[in-house]
């Protein structure tokens, strides 16, 4: 194992600065997958499980969503919530049992609700209640992307080191070109945030400035 005194942020910035690094690139049709932008994770003043990295995260996500809708590209929002018993959380919900524990994000609760700053179009956007980390795991996301002939998945949300990374890995594993707009993902702590941006940028996704993703969507024209 190579040792280093560099921080996770510094390692990520080195990868980010490598202009010669080959990208997966954008494909013919994108979908936007917004992972768990729910109060439990977006309202630090309200819930100890929440966090904020870029204060404009949700604003950027809303702009991405607006552009995707303009081009008739799917916009998907995921959230986690569980039965009163917590049994549908499985072994993931067995490490702790406090009011803040994962399995205690109950269906219909304030913690489970998507942040009301998210501009969700309930007439066209797809909302998925997932139970595990990846947005793909035991949901109908993959079949929806197949139906819409998507080949590019733009992933936002949180946490960078948890559900965003899991979704990005599963996306690449299904041969989707995977894009992570840097300002649109967040985590509770700096080190895992940058360590996972570094890892995704090396292996699983193009981690790009949100301005670049927005510019691509602005000029996007649906394939024939």
DSSP 45: T
Host H or E run for residue 154: strand 152-158
- Active-site residue 118, yes or no? no
Distance of CA 7 to the CA centre of its chain: 23
C-alpha pair distances (Å), 95 with each of 90, 102, 200 = 11, 9, 27
CA distance 172 to 72: 23
d(CA 158, CA 37): 7
Whose CA is closest to 160, among 129, 128, 195? Answer: 195
Tokens of 202: 């090396």
Task: Say how far apart CA 36 and CA 45 lie, in whole Å.
Answer: 17
Task: Check 68, 73, 163, 184 and give the catalytic one.
Answer: 163
Annotated catalytic residues are 163
């Amino acid at each position: 194992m190579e040792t280093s005194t560099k921080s996770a942020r510094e390692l990520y910035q080195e990868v980010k600065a490598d202009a010669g690094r080959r990208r997966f690139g954008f494909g013919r049709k994108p979908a936007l997958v917004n992972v768990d932008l729910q109060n439990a994770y977006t309202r630090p003043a309200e819930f100890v499980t929440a966090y904020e990295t870029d204060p404009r995260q949700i604003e950027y996500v809303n702009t991405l969503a607006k552009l995707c809708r303009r081009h008739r590209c799917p916009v998907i929002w995921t959230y986690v919530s569980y039965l009163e018993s917590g049994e549908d959380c499985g072994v993931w919900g067995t490490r702790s049992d406090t009011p803040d524990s994962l399995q205690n994000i109950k269906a219909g609760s304030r913690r489970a609700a998507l942040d009301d700053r998210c501009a969700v179009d309930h007439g066209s956007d797809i909302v998925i209640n997932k139970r595990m980390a990846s947005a793909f795991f035991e949901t109908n996301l993959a079949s929806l992307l197949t139906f819409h002939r998507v080949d590019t998945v733009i992933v936002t949300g949180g946490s960078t080191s948890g559900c965003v990374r899991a979704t990005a890995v599963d996306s690449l594993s299904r041969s989707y070109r995977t894009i992570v707009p840097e300002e649109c993902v967040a985590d509770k702590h700096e080190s895992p945030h940058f360590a996972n941006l570094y890892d995704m940028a090396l292996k699983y996704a193009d981690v790009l400035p949100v301005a670049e993703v927005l510019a691509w969507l602005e000029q996007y024209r649906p394939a024939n």
